[in-house]
Structure 1
């Protein structure tokens, strides 16, 4: 299975290139990315190679637009909010590595991974982003304290959207 960092790198490479569609297979996993227009990052479809053909169907052109629409307005709100933030409030933003649904906890009845004021390490899991029925644990990648949670539980997020602000040590 591909790691989140590997998926991030693939999405970044495809996004910066002129290709419109990309398929990558490794260790029984198939990753398919398609660009629907130049304004959006590529849609990502990750599926095990041994599943039924229904789960390997390419992402439809309409699907990324449906997912990205709510996040765009949220991003505009985040940008306006970021302008009011002072530099002392945070040093680093944890961003979404993919388009998907943001979850603050591993299960509905569990406690949230982090809250405002929670101390995190580089490898601390801070949330889950569900994409294509795969639950991807997102790590902090920095050590510090969570100063702000920018997304609500169950909200759709887009690639590169800020999720948390962290005051590093």
Structure 2
């Protein structure tokens, strides 16, 4: 877990209204406590295991990071789509295209959307958060598969505002 991921986790916890979160992954243990008034991080503890365990744990992390590298060629595609507006995830969670398994999807490619229309749901800590459009336009591309994990600020949709 790198510093950026920890910072994103702190932001997410401070915005969620939760008083305390404990996270344990392999050799890292993190506890984040927030105050009720300002809802800002109060104390953050990061503990790492001895170096010998960290070396053993680092190999799988490198294997996980390797598949992410082919995503870099997608960056030129963003330049081609510069005329489109990207709608990004405001939080970490699980992306759902439908309000329930037996319901139709919120939007499809080609759907016309208006400001305030619900585009998807991101489930975080058993809370289902509706993601609403901030612009009016037409869905050009859906960038995330249904029931996939998403990160904070990850692109979800491309919208043609014209």
Find out whether 1:58 has 2:51 as its counterpart: no
Describe how 1:144-159 pairs up with structure 2 within 5 A.
144-159=137-152
Q: Give runs of aligned pairs for residues 13-162 of structure 1, distance below 5 A.
A: 37-40=2-5, 41-43=7-9, 44-45=12-13, 46=16, 57-62=20-25, 79-85=72-78, 87=80, 90-162=83-155
Residues 149/98 of structure 1: CA separation in 2 closer, same or farther (3 Å cut): same
Aligned CA-pair RMSD: 3.1
Q: Normalising by structure 1, what TM-score?
A: 0.60
Unaligned 5+ residue runs, structure 2?
29-60
Alignment of 1:3-14 (within 5 A): none
Helix, strand or coil at the partner of 1:115:
coil
- Secondary structure (helix, strand or coil) at the match of 2:91 reads coil
Cα 1:60–1:132 change in 2 (3 A) is same
Rounded to whole Å, the distance in 1 between the matches of 2:72 and 2:152 is 15
Q: Secondary structure at the match of 2:4?
A: coil
Aligned CA distance change for structure 1 residues 110 and 100 (closer, same or farther; 3 Å): same
- Structure 1, gaps ≥5 residues long: 1-35, 49-55
Question: How far apart are residue 62 of structure 1 and its match?
Answer: 3.0
Q: In the aligned structure 2, how far is the partner of 1:86 from the partner of 1:108?
A: 35
Q: Structure 1 residues 112, 79: CA separation in 2 closer, same or farther (over 3 Å shift)?
A: farther
- Richer in helix (by share): 2
Q: Cα distance, 1:91 vs. partner? A: 1.6
Q: TM-score, normalised by structure 2?
A: 0.63
Aligned to 2:38: none
Larger relative contact order (C-alpha < 8 A, sep ≥ 6)?
A: 1
Count of matched residue positions in the alignment of Structure 1 and Structure 2: 122
Deviation at 1:37, TM superposition (A): 4.4
Q: Are the structure 2 counterparts of residues 135 and 79 from structure 1 closer, same or farther at C-alpha, using a change threshold of 3 Å?
A: farther
